[in-house]
Structure 1
Amino acid sequence: MTGASSDLMDAARAWMLRANDPAFTDWDGLTRWLEADPRHLPAYERALEEDAWAGELADAANRDAVHAPSESALPRRAARRRPWVALGGAVAAAVVGVTVWTMAPDAPASNVYVTALGEHRSIALSDGSRMEINGDSQVTYDPDTPRMVTLDRGEAVFEIRHDEANPFVVQAGKARLIDAGTVFNVVNDDGRFEVAVAEGAVIYDAGRQPVRLEPGDALVRMGRDGAIELRKADPANVGAWRDGLLQYDDATLTIVARDLSRTTGTPIAVSPVARDMHYSGTLAVEGPASDVFARIGPLLGVTFRKNGKGWEMTPRDGAIR
């Protein structure tokens, strides 16, 4: 693909991403762009085809993750409604969806950032955006498509330099997050997906009806096929793990343990009798692991016991709450 062709496809994809925002109103601008050059409409239609293909791939991957389901039990991708805009005899699709960026065969290899338990990394991206990666996480970034990253697993905060003509996309499992000038935190951890917005707005798109999240909004999905739940978050505390704070609203201790492991760098298991216990509140996790566990154990209603190379959480005095 030549540089000019690549720029044209980038512009077509960018219009798709903008139009995917439920708050999008610039249909006249989209129409003008489509009419400005005879190459624009074919590029736009190609972008639409890529989007449909991407949705099929996401659904296929999701089905593969489910153990031996019946065909009737498989989730079906909702049909994408595409309004048509007449353009002087030509027809252009006004998008409802997002796309997958493709990489030329001779493009540079992607950068894969992997952090160990307890390791935090701050990465400046070439477009002026920044991502801060929590421990035990992996993020893939292709310099050839600098406005897209993939959170393969773990947790990261993204501080995005807004570009209305070329929105930033974070892929996390089957979900795509499209920024609108944003600071937001994302968790993609073994079927658990969470996003919370501190600034700007994010459009959550997992192949069905997109959801727009404003500052103070959070979205949670437990399990790859789980229903989404909308919650509220304090914008000032989004990504508070960077300051040694972990915040929860009725979270299971299994989730708390995974977050503690990722942030403190110490493997933590949960005893079977404690897995269904819940916690709401804030945990301060700065300092040596043994001191942290002694401090937060009473808040969680557990005792931290040394277990080989890691620790195990067990209910205090055998009590379960």
Structure 2
Amino acid sequence: MKDHKDNITNDIRDWMNNDVDAKKLDRLKSQLGTASTESLDEILSPIWDSYDNDSINERRYHVQQESRQKEKVRRLNYKYRRLQIAAILIPVIMVMGFAALYWGMEKQSNYFELQALKGEKSFLNLPDRSKVWINSESSLRYASDFNMEERHLYLKGEGFFDVAHQAGLPFTVSVGSINIVVKGTKFNVKSDPGEVEIALLEGKVDVFHDKTQLIASLLPNQIINIDTNDPRKFTIRNERGEDYGIWTQNILVIQNENLSDISRKIGKWYGVNIRLFNVDLDQKYTFTIKTESLNETLGLMNQLMSIDYSVNGEEVVIRQDTK
């Protein structure tokens, strides 16, 4: 038994001195995984006691790279240090090594998330004075250290961005593998299954796939649609960019769309589920919704499209006589 503990002790010392090969590391993982808490404390105590505070602090400083954490380590009392190394050492050795894990924990950020529920919209002033609107059933996620070293946001759904310019600090919006990089501009982003649409109102944006593959650079009033299954497939057209961000003013523009697309937008706008029966999908319609209620909008659609509709809570059924 004593020989077994001595072997573990020697292996840990070698590991702490950076003198361990793959075979010895595998053996150490196995030994630590089966050791009891009592025996582990007995093994670690003499190892810990053999290193003075300056030596420990020097090793910690090497993996932390931050002086403020070094000061925290100095203030740890003896009992806490002994428990800390026991708590950290086992999972570290068994997973990826102390330095890598500890550095990862130090660099880990908390994230904030803004969500817009069905039929609602949300607005956010970011720490850099940029403004963001997110549409119904969308969400925006960003790190608590936003605007410190980078400005990076993660969007699901649809969002409109009015970006404050900051020299040397680009602003990036990620939608899956698509990254939009800007310095100061206004643009709208909408993601649907299999597609991302970006409409630029002001400034210039660079659109990347996986951060390194440039897809396109957009100028004002250019709209790009990207196939997310194959980002090499995209189209760019020239249209009024303002029409794509007008939803932030509580105005919904329907522009030459069929009843299926209109129902999807109306359902999202009012937070309802719309089911279609026997409708003509070849006919296209154009109209604008401002302050109208759901029933008023359905009445307008009835005048334009000759539909029958019924509303039961959040369920809407639309039928159309296509004869």
Query: Which protein is bigger by CA-based radius of gyration?
Result: 2
1:169 Cα shift?
Answer: 0.5
Pick the aligned partner of 2:279 from 270, 274, 278. 274
Distance in 2 of aligned mates of 1:162 and 1:117: 32
Please identify, of 121-130 and 220-229, the stretch whose mean Cα deviation from structure 2 is larger: 220-229
SS of 2:105's partner is coil
SS in 2 for 1:318: coil
From 212, 220, 224, the equivalent of 1:215 is 220
CA drift at 1:268: 2.2
Root-mean-square deviation (CA, aligned residues, Å) is 2.8
Residue 133 of structure 1, CA deviation: 1.0
Q: Where does residue 268 of structure 2 map in the other structure?
A: 262
Q: Does residue 198 of the first structure (1) align with residue 201 of the second (2)?
A: yes
> Which runs of no fewer than 5 residues in structure 2 stay unpaired?
1-63, 68-102
1:148 aligns with 2:149: no
Q: What residue in structure 1 maps to residue 243 of structure 2?
A: 237
1:159 is matched with which residue? 162
Between the aligned partners of 1:234 and 1:145, the Cα distance in structure 2 is 31
Tell me if 1:318 matches 2:322.
yes
Residues 224, 310 of structure 1: alpha-carbon distance in 2 compared, 3 angstrom cutoff: farther
Distance 1:217 1:143, change over 3 A: same
Aligned partner of residue 136 in structure 2, secondary structure: coil
Deviates more, 1:220-229 or 1:280-289: 220-229
Q: 1:204 Cα shift?
A: 1.5
State the distance in 2 between where 1:219 and 1:130 align.
22
How far is the alpha carbon of 1:277 from its aligned partner? 3.9
Amino acid at match of 2:155: L
In the TM superposition, residue 160 of structure 1 has moved relative to its aligned partner by: 0.5
* Structure 2 residue aligned with 1:304: 309
Q: CA deviation at 1:120?
A: 1.2
Sequence identity (%): 22
Would the aligned equivalents of 1:245 and 1:284 in 2 still touch at CA under 8 Å?
yes
Match of 1:186 in 2: 189
The 1-side partners of 2:304 and 2:205 are apart by 33
The Cα shift of 1:179 comes to 1.2
Q: Relative to 1, partners in 2 of residues 1:110 and 1:293: Cα closer, same or farther, differing over 3 Å? A: same
Consecutive unaligned residues in structure 1, runs of 5 or more: 5-102
Query: In structure 2, what is the Cα distance between the partners aligned to 1:195 and 1:185?
Result: 6
Q: What is the aligned length? A: 218
> Which region of structure 1 is more displaced relative to structure 2, 129-138 or 305-314?
305-314
CA contact (8 A) 2:130 2:161 kept: yes
- Tell whether the 8 Å contact from 1:247 to 1:280 is kept in structure 2 after alignment: no
8 Å CA contact 1:167–1:178 kept in 2: the answer is yes
TM-score (norm 1): 0.59
**AA matched with 1:121:** S
The residue aligned with 1:85 is none
Amino acid corresponding to residue 142 of structure 1 in structure 2? A
Shift in alpha-carbon separation, 1:195–1:276, aligned structure 2, 3 A: same
User: Which of structures 1 and 2 has the larger relative contact order (alpha carbons within 8 angstroms, sep 6+)?
Assistant: 1
